[in-house]
């Protein structure tokens, strides 16, 4: 399932679409996405862009949100 960074790197976006609480965290996020894009090859970025945007399984969504809540 496509996440923010998969979308940002896969579609060469300027920002990852995250909702940052303040400018310092936003700047860190922008630098992180920039690093990710500069360290992935075009075939890998195409692979990211092909990820499904939605899951057919409730289990996948639950696992995704559990990992996000744990900071992973």
Quick one: tokens of 60?
A: 């996948």
From the CB of residue 16, how many other CB atoms can be counted at a distance below 10 Å? 19
pLDDT, position 72: 47
pLDDT, position 67: 46
pLDDT, position 42: 93
Quick one: tokens of 51?
A: 């990820």
Domain boundaries, the chain: 4-69
Per residue in 21-58, pLDDT tens? 899 988 988 898 899 899 999 999 999 899 887 766 55
Question: 16 versus 68: which is more confidently predicted?
Answer: 16
The secondary structure of 29-72 as a DSSP string is HHHHHHHHHHTS-HHHHHHHHTS-SS-S-HHHHHHHHHHHHTT-
Q: Within its chain, how far is the Cα of 45 from the centroid?
A: 11
């Amino acid at each position: 399932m496509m996440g923010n960074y998969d979308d940002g790197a896969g579609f060469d976006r300027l920002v990852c679409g995250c909702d940052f609480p303040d400018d310092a965290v936003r700047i860190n996020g922008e630098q992180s996405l920039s690093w990710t894009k500069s360290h992935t090859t075009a075939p890998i970025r195409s692979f990211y862009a092909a990820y499904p945007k939605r899951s057919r399984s409730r289990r996948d969504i639950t696992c995704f949100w559990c990992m996000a809540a744990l900071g992973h």
